[in-house]
A and B are shown apart, each in its own frame.
Chain A
Amino acid sequence: MSDSHEEAHFCHTAGDKIMFSDSVLQAIRNVQKRYPDSQGAVLPALHIIQKEYGHLTYEAMRFVSQQLRVSESDVFGAATFYSLYRWKNPGRHLIQICHNLSCSLLGAETMIKHLETKLGVCEGEVTKDGRFSFIRMECIGRCDGAPAMLVGDDYHGNLTPEKIDAILATYE
């Protein structure tokens, strides 16, 4: 990693060059104001980048480290501690399907098998058309609508295989 990269805010992802946009930088500057020290902004800064690019990278963490003047090890330590920072592209729509107790009592495993068959991918893999990937979740707080899942930011509950088909059809 050379210094020129740092200055230009380059982020390398699988050979592609992505520049962190001014809006990302501005969003990080804004969120920093909420905290008494700059380390407080580590989690929100990572969220901002993940939202913009779909996932985090090594360079994204270095970028956050430089912008917030927090040591790289502290940023890496935090970023790798939490389950929901992602390290590869989840496709256009990330399906997060719950398999904790309330959902599994009401058929979560059947729904997950259906997703695997329907999408033709295993957990964490992106479909060939780049539309979907799915991950198993430990309780998404929709136990009253079990079995439940999130597609992007949208909740869907009381799932059946037919209902899953209808829901997925509405996402481009």
Chain B
Amino acid sequence: MEKMLLKRVDIPNSADIDVALKHGAYSTLATAFGMRPVDVVNEVKRATLRGRGGAGFPTGLKWELCSRVPGQLKYLLCNADEGEPGTFKDRFILLQDPHLLIEGMVISGYGIGAERGYIYLRYEYPTALGVLEKAIEQAYAKGYLGKNILGKGVNFDLSVHRGAGAYICGEETALIESLEGKRGQPRIRPPFPASQGAWRKPTVINNVETLSNIPYLIAMGADAYAKIGEETSPGPKLYGVSGMVNKPGVYELPMGTTLREIIFTHCGGVRGGKKLKAVIPGGASTPMLTEQHLDVKMDFNSLVAAGSMLGSGAVMVMDETVNMVQATSTLVRFFAHESCGKCTPCREGTSWLYQVYKRLMHGEGRPDDIDLLLYICETVKGKCFCPLGEGAIQPVLSSIKHFRGDYEEWIKSGKAAHA
């Protein structure tokens, strides 16, 4: 497949607007402005593009809901929080092709009728902050942002809003709260952001990768776009692969590429010729898979059928030397740290889980700790205010399901980690 999303990232100085323009940036604006806004929305809907942030919600549907709400003032927010452990795909676009994102946002804003946009950028990307601010300044100077873009009467203002270190702000209503200057805790839904989002105005929130698909989708048309990759969720997908592979990195491949092809063809297999033990296919909150799942197609539906989720497409590979109790403990610590504290099942559940794992890591595991972990997961499951709690129990449940032996052995041996 010819690269789209990563087409410009290897070009030297590609974040500079002059370089980006030479390689096709902003060339789809005229096409989009030649369409009615409703047709832009319909095109995205027809292409069945699904959001690349994790949940996989149909982008066109989200846009349609927002665009139908009457009112002049609407917001378009780009979720560049990229906090899911293992995820680093958006960083490539943010650092190397910010103009692709900006172009995508201008077109998206035109489609849904939003004239104001914000990029919610995670604090941990300080370099991207500078790159984005410069890119926005350049886009204003060249007339691709601001008033009357291309002389077509389209207005779009854009700025960066920097987060301050909170995983929960990747959840869209928490992101809105944070944008508004508040504690980043999720809101009750309904009302959904599409009708009442930022500052209670109709709002669309899309991931960096989702918005970066838009210029290509509009340029090639929905029919051609829908032919790329997997039928039920087409398009190119950025897979970020890390852990014990020979060539970690971000790979743009057709949606639905198998895990085996990603790990063994593109990433050069497992480091040191070791045996693969476990794979997390879509970031910390997606259930672990094993060697027997290698032929699963990496798309939304196929991964659900295999008992996991595509999430953000962040593949983390673990070889035979990894102890799954230790690996899971790292993830449980993360979720306990990041639980926002709003709802009890998540706040208490994640910290109880972590207390058990701490005990295990100190070599003080008890024979009934496995049952205790499963019981705590049961008290969290389906009872949380937002998806964080649900995500937090996935590594626990899936590691016990596939690697119960690791737990039993660890508890029996009374070993301690990092000793």
Contacts and interface: CB of A to CB of B under 8 A. Distances in A.
Given A43-B161, A141-B87, A141-B125, A81 B184 contact: yes
A104 B330 CA distance: 8
Interface in A97-115: 99-102, 104-106, 109
B316 A102 contact: yes
Nearest to B248: A144
B244 A44 contact: no
B91 interface: yes
Contact of B330 (A35, A85, A99, A141): A99
B213 to A, nearest CB: 20
B127 A153 contact: yes
B418 interface: yes
Contact of B327 (A83, A96, A105): A105
Contact of B86 (A34, A39, A42, A139): A139
A140 interface: yes
Nearest to B87: A141
Interface stretch (B20-28, B57-65, B175-183, B366-374): B175-183
A15 interface: no
Contacts of A34: 159, 161
A92 interface: no
Interface string B375-419: 000000000000000000000000000000000000000000010
A34 B86 CA distance: 32
Interface in A131-159: 137-146, 150, 153, 155
Interface string B236-251: 0000111110001110
Nearest to A44: B162
A138 B181 contact: no
A75 B249 CA distance: 39
Contacts of B249: 144
Interface stretch (B144-152, B164-172, B221-229, B351-359): B164-172
B192 interface: no
Contact of A36 (B199, B337, B338): B199
Among B82, B181, B243, B330, max chain A CB count under 10 A is at: B181
A78 interface: yes
A137 B340 CA distance: 17
Among A70, A101, A109, max chain B CB count under 10 A is at: A101
A143 B248 contact: yes
Contacts of B314: 143
A64 B345 CA distance: 34
A95 interface: no
A143 B240 contact: yes
Contacts of A153: 126-127
A100 B330 contact: yes
A82 B86 contact: no
A150 B35 CA distance: 45
Among B84, B88, B249, B318, max chain A CB count under 10 A is at: B88
A144 to B, nearest CB: 4
B39 interface: no
B33 interface: no
A120 interface: no
A72 interface: no
A86 B89 CA distance: 28
Contact of A82 (B165, B284, B327, B418): B165
Interface of A: 34-37, 39-44, 46-47, 70, 74, 77-78, 81-85, 96, 99-102, 104-106, 109, 137-146, 150, 153, 155
Interface of B: 82-88, 91, 122-127, 159, 161-167, 178-185, 199, 240-244, 248-250, 280, 284, 314, 316, 318, 322, 327, 330-331, 334, 337-338, 340, 418
10 contacts: A40-B180, A47-B164, A77-B183, A81-B340, A83-B337, A84-B124, A100-B330, A106-B244, A138-B337, A139-B334
5 residue pairs, one from A and one from B, having the closest CB atoms: A84-B165, A42-B181, A82-B164, A143-B242, A83-B165
